[in-house]
């Protein structure tokens, strides 16, 4: 019944987006940040991933960043990522806005993706800003060298991940100003809606549905809340859409 209602909300919208967080990728084997016993922040102090630490003590920063970056290694997109890409292909999801840095939405086939917290595909020189493949930085860390230097200026490299203390990318603010006011439905997937400013996105949308294993700060606003597997829920949603579009 919940998936039927979710299907109705989605198919009755004209400009729907998906907003995803760490819980979107837990079914790929990647831990989230805050779950008791398994969350990454129980193993790693997020304060050490601050831009000020990178500038003042790069060795401490990169020893911890290496642990952060390693959480996605050896994992692949899951059924939820592929189902969400299918919903975009079907014209029902217009954009995926994600807090994740694992690139799984793109790998699964989503075309219109806004990565508000950056990604691990590139790195750049902190002096001149020249951009390089992330592998250059990763190779330093693989060798346990925690002062990675750019080929151009021989100054510190940084990843394209948004650190604590960084501003969000300009694309986020462009989206908030130009696109979000036109969104009429937001499908929230795998986020506790606790990290701002990104978590304010559903607050500006009239109709919201949330699929998350645990309660979120915005459950009271949502028209529908589903505490279940994201992968199976989205697969069932795709099946329901197909059934309605192509009745036997």
Residues with a known catalytic role: 117
Would you give the distance in Å from CA 207 to the centre of its chain?
Answer: 21
- As a whole number of angstroms, the distance between CA 55 and CA 28 comes to 33
Residue 70: phi, psi to the nearest 5?
A: -70, -20
Residue 120: phi, psi to the nearest 5?
A: -115, 35
- As a whole number of angstroms, the distance between CA 203 and CA 193 comes to 10
- As a whole number of angstroms, the distance between CA 185 and CA 246 comes to 23
Contact 231, 28 (CB under 8 A): no
State both tokens at 109.
Answer: 């086939």
Contact 203, 225 (CB under 8 A): no
N- to C-terminal Cα separation, the chain = 20
Contact 119, 160 (CB under 8 A): yes
Cα angle, residue 18 at apex, residues 234 and 173 outer, rounded to 5° = 165
């Amino acid at each position: 019944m919940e998936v039927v209602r979710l299907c109705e909300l989605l198919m009755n919208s004209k400009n729907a987006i998906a907003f995803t967080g760490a819980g979107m990728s837990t079914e790929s084997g990647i831990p989230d940040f805050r779950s008791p016993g398994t969350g990454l922040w129980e193993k790693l102090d997020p304060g050490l991933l601050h831009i000020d630490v990178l500038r003042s003590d790069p060795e401490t920063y990169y020893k911890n960043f290496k642990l952060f970056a390693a959480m996605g290694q050896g994992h692949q997109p899951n059924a939820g990522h592929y189902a969400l890409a299918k919903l975009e292909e079907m014209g029902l999801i217009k954009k995926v806005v994600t807090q994740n840095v694992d690139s799984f939405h793109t790998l699964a086939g989503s075309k219109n993706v806004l990565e508000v917290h950056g990604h691990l595909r590139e790195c750049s020189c902190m002096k001149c800003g020249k951009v390089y493949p992330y592998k250059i930085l990763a190779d330093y860390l693989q060798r346990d060298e925690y002062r990675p230097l750019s080929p151009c200026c021989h100054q510190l490299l940084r990843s394209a991940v948004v650190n604590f203390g960084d501003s969000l990318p300009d694309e986020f603010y462009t989206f908030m100003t130009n696109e979000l006011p036109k969104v009429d439905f937001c499908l929230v997937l795998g986020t506790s809606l606790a990290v701002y400013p990104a978590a304010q996105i559903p607050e500006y949308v009239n109709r919201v549905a949330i699929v998350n294993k645990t309660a979120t700060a915005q459950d009271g606003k949502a028209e529908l809340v589903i505490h279940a597997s994201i992968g199976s829920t989205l697969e069932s949603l795709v099946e329901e859409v197909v059934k309605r579009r192509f009745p036997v």
